[in-house]
Structures are given as structure tokens and as C-alpha cells.
A and B are shown apart, each in its own frame.
Chain A
Amino acid sequence: MNPTKNGYFGQFGGRFVPETLVKALDELTAVYTRELKNKAFNSKLAYYHKHFIGRTTPLYYAENLTKHLKGPKIYLKREDVCHTGSHKINNTIGQVLLAKEIGKTRIIAETGAGQHGVATATAAALFSMKCEVYMGEEDVARQAMNVERMKLLGATVVPVKSGTKTLKDAINEAMRDWVTNVENTFYVIGSVIGPHPYPLMVRTFQSIIGKEAKKQIMQAEGKLPDYLVACVGGGSNSMGLFAPFYNDKKVKMVGVEAGGLGVNTNKHSASITGGSVGILHGTKTYLLQDKYGQVLPTHSISAGLDYPGVGPEHSFYNDSKRAEYKAVNDKEALNAFHLLSEIEGIIPALEPAHAIAYLIKNARAFKKNDVIVVCLSGRGDKDLDIVNNQL
């Protein structure tokens, strides 16, 4: 599925930004389009994938979980073993390489859980760039370890005190920085959100997840999976898994949103399940908003899913029924976190714990011989404080 030249996936996407940024986005689109066809760029990317990130990541048959659920056959795409602990690094290496290509000297990023911040700081350190990361004050407090990691990597972490002090406000602040310093600064967006070409570009850099998984499942099972399941905040790990299977119409896809305390309360982050169409951070997509178009505060136990919008391509997948979007709540995610740790020896991040929770909840709805690929987008070390505080 390719977007139109203006970045639309059906009615979703586009580029709704202050005029100041148009030149930079045009420039980025041109460089991105050119470099993706460039052999040297791609072999550089492949080199860092293999030797720096540690790809190919395993597709692991979760035999214990499969037996425990007495349901379908579950495979985990192990993005948690990527360098820095999550899939975020796939995208930041790509974007920082492009930044160098354009000649920018300064990198900025937003971060929620801190995983994208760490991945950006890592790529910036690797390619000798200055890096500043915007992070909501509330997230700085609940993801303290990642703040320390970013500092060790030489990045400056800027706590954001405006608005709701979480991911959405960190994005606002990063955009204001970019509007001000656009001449020398490259904004590394961490998900398939933002103005065109970001949703397309981030998807492309994350598609490595789905491309590998497709080969691996063919080897393991000799057929394509029946289902793909992944968590969706902005939706970069899920889109990275889904996109290479878009034309394989028999492969069903489920995006799992953060239901927080319940989608019927006002404390959740399930933009597709509980939102309506709007325009935020440069893109048209499903949003949590009131009837006047004011964006609502969100909640999730997982900082990485705590965002009121979602990638425009997911909105398109939803409306065109290519994928289904379901929510699981904080408690279900927490239970999944514990279960996977105990029976598989894998401590998942709270974000993909939502995807696991969906399987636990719906194990009976699948056929016993169904094959499911779940994206285990990151590891859970960063979440130990949050999990301990729940006890």
C-alpha cells in the first residue's frame, strides 16, 4: 500500500504543518526517496542492521505459552533482543543516516517510554551528532532508567512541563524546536505519525520486522501466518510487521490498543477503538478529542502507548477493514507481563504485553491449528518500577 504523492492513505495522512516546515519536509521527501533507491545507502543500512542492531532477530516459537493457552501456535518476533532493547533502533539508524546525508548537525526527538529517546541518542552517538530529547515531565519520572541511559549516551533530556506533560506534549515541544531550528536540525520522529513523509518513512525503516518474519515463518511452518498481532500506540512496530503482508489477503491482522482503565472510561489511549477523525501533529487520523476538537488527556500503564493519536495508515487499515483494532486494559497487560516472564523466560515491555494479553483473552476464539506471529517489540527492564508499584 503506497500513499499518494501528498502522503494520503485513503482519507488519512497528509501534511498539516506550519509554513516554516514545508521546505524541510520537501527536502526530506526528496532525500528519502533518492536514498532508498541508492545501493550504497541500503548496504550501509544493512551493515548496521547486522553488526550494530544484531539483526536478524529470531522468530521464536513460544511453545510454553502455546501449551498454556491450549490455543493457536504462537510465534514471537523478538524485537526485544535488538540493541537498546526495542524495535525503535531500526528507525533511528535510518533517519540519522538520512540526517547526515542532508547535512544537518543536530538531532532532536520526542520520547514517551524513553525507548525511542534511547534509540535516537544511540544513533546520534554512533554518527557523532548532537542530540536533544524532549520527554514529558511525567514520563521522566516513570521511566527514570531510560533518562539515565540517554544521558550516558551524551544526549540532553529536556523535561516538558506544558499541557499534559506526556508524549503528545513532548511532540509539541519537539515541533516548536524544529520550527525554530529547522535550518540545522533534523527531527527524528519515533512512530508512523506526523506529517508526510514521516509515516511512510518510519514504516519503511520498520518493515524489516515484517520482511524477516515472513521469511522465517515460511521456513518454520511452510505457510504464511493466519494472524499478525501487535500493540498500537503510534503504531510503528505493528506497521513494521503488517506492511509487508498487506497484499497477503489471507493473513489477518490485529492491532492492540491501550485500554487503560477501560475504553468506556476517559482513562485510556485507544484512539481507533474510542476516538474520532481529526488532525494532530501534522496528520489526519483517529484521535481522542472532545466535540470541539480539543485533544483529550490519555492514560495507559505503558508510557509508550500513552498517545491520543495513531498512525494514519492504521486509520486506513481500520476503515478499509484490512486490520482489526481491539483494546486491552492495564490489568490484562500486567497479567500478560507476568505470565510471559514466568513461563517463557522473557520479560516483555508493557507495550507488547498488550499484544500478549489480547492472545490470552481471546485464545479460545482462534482455531487450534492457527499460526500467529506476535511482535514482541521491546524488553521489560524499563518497566520494573511501574510493575513493582502496582503490587
Chain B
Amino acid sequence: MMKNNLEIKLDSLKKANRKALICYITAGHPDLNTSEKIIEYLYESGTDIVEIGLPFSDPIADGPVIQASSHKALLKGVNTDKIFTLVSKVTKKTAMPVIIMTYLNPVFKYGIERFFKAAQTAGVSGLIVPDATPESAGIFEKTARKYNISVIYLLAPTTVKNRQKLIINRSTGFVYIVSLTGVTGPRSKFDGSIENFVKGLKKQTKKPLMLGFGISNPQQIKSIKKSIDGIIIGSALIKAIENSNKNTLKSNIDKFIKPFRRELDR
């Protein structure tokens, strides 16, 4: 099968020996036009891949920051169709691959076939669903493949050995390594055991391993970055740009993103 934008990007990062910077934003927070601007600025400041959050009313894997941004976006009337429109705009404007992050129910209720078809048309190249595991995602994995959309599974510190293999094998694009036992949200540092954990995973696979949950500052990734292929930042980014206005949005994004870029490239 032809490679999608995400896979092409991951290949080129690998060739260039470059670590990926992946940023999460909640679509429609504070509004869809601003989301479009944020994505553009993220690209300009050195983000490799954007993860667009399709908000769900009951985000059980998310901490207070993403809960609040999702809640606000939904109150503003954001929905799946509007988010696909946003995706098609940004995939036309930038070359940055787009991943959708959402929960199972919005995918299921929209209609699995219809969801992936619309996602592909809009230019989505990957999907992350935190309440799906390889066992339960059977309901959409085949359809995702048909529409050439990568299915990225999460692997947690509590994942036992034989499941680690299963998750790595079934993930397409990359594997999402959850840095902590908990929900999303900025933490100041990692648990000491996480570095050995990712080293152990790295030995098992050539697939890219991206580390996410809890990343809030560039110092945090200094020693662990050599053992992974990239990082995913969400809540800390949302917090950093939340109080921006039209004039400060771009500079606030630069100020937040560039130190991470520098640390990853160093």
C-alpha cells in the first residue's frame, strides 16, 4: 500500500536522524479559526506532526487542561464535520501530517466507514484513540487500513511483556509510549524508571517510539531523548497559549515550541 503523509514524514525524519516534535491541540478551542492559525504557527516554529483533538464529552484519559479545552470547544458547537473541514484547510496550507485524537464513541456513532472515508478525504493520516486497545479496536482497524490511515496504539508503563509485543506489532505509523501511569497533563519531571522502560521497548522494534503524557519543559527530555524517536506535547502547549490574543499568539507559540525543537535537535 502507498505510504500516507505520516509514514512518509516518519521515514524522512529517520533518514535525517531527526527526532519528531508532535503537538496536540484541541480543535475549536478557543474557536476553529484560531485553531487553524495555531496549526500554521506550530508548523512554522518547527513542529513535525500535528495531533488534532476531536473533543469528546467524557474524556477519561485526559487531565484537567484537555478536559476543560474539550468542554469549551463542545459548548462552542464544534463537531466532527467542522473538524474535518478544518483538517482539509490545514492539509492544503501546510505539508504537516495530521493525526486525529479522539475517543471511540465519536468514531463509532459517526459510522466507522463514514468516519474513515471523511477523514481520508480531509487529509488525515493517523488516528489515536486512548480508550481503544488492539483487542477492542478490532471494530475499526480494518476500515482504517482500507482508507490508509495509521492506527497508533498507546503503550503504558503497566503494559505487560506479551502485550508490549502485541501493541508494537499492531501499531502503524508509530507507537505512542505513555510516560506515566495516569492521565494527560503537565508534570515537571518523569518517573526515574521510564528511561529503562523505553530502552527495553527500543530493543524490541524498529518502529518509531514517540513519548507523550506529562511533557512540560525541554529539560525533562534531555537524557531520555536518545532512547526515543520523538515527543508529543499537549496540555502544556494549550496552557502556554491559552491567554494569547491575535497579536501574541504567534510569538507565544514560538516561545514555547522553539526550546523543545532546539533540545530535540541538539
Contacts and interface: CB of A to CB of B under 8 A. Distances in A.
Interface of A: 6, 14-24, 162-163, 168-169, 172, 175-176, 179-183, 276, 278-282, 287, 289, 291-295
B67 A18 contact: no
Interface string B124-156: 000000111101100000000000000001111
B50 to A, nearest CB: 21
A270 B198 CA distance: 46
Interface of B: 56-64, 67, 71, 74, 79-80, 103-110, 130-133, 135-136, 153-160, 163, 167, 178, 181-183
Contact of B56 (A162, A175, A293): A293
B105 A295 contact: yes
B111 to A, nearest CB: 10
Nearest to B115: A293
A375 B164 CA distance: 46
A176 B131 CA distance: 12
Given A16-B104, A294-B106, 20 more contacts: A15-B133, A18-B131, A19-B133, A19-B156, A22-B158, A23-B163, A162-B71, A176-B60, A176-B183, A182-B181, A183-B158, A183-B181, A276-B109, A279-B103, A279-B104, A281-B58, A281-B60, A287-B105, A293-B108, A294-B74
Contacts of A180: 181-183
Nearest to A289: B109
B82 to A, nearest CB: 10
Contact of A278 (B79, B108, B167): B108
Contacts of A175: 60
A293 B109 contact: yes
A17 B105 contact: no
Nearest to A276: B109
Tell me whether chain A's interface is mostly helix, strand or loop, or mixed. mixed
B181 A291 contact: no
A276 B136 CA distance: 20
A295 B136 contact: no
Given A180-B182, A279-B104, A14 B109 contact: no
A22 B159 contact: yes
Nearest to B59: A172
A172 B103 CA distance: 13
Contacts of B57: 163, 294-295
Contact of A19 (B79, B103, B153, B182): B153
A231 B160 CA distance: 40
A18 B106 contact: no
B163 to A, nearest CB: 7
Given A295-B57, A295-B105, A17 B133 contact: yes
B68 to A, nearest CB: 8
A162 B72 CA distance: 11
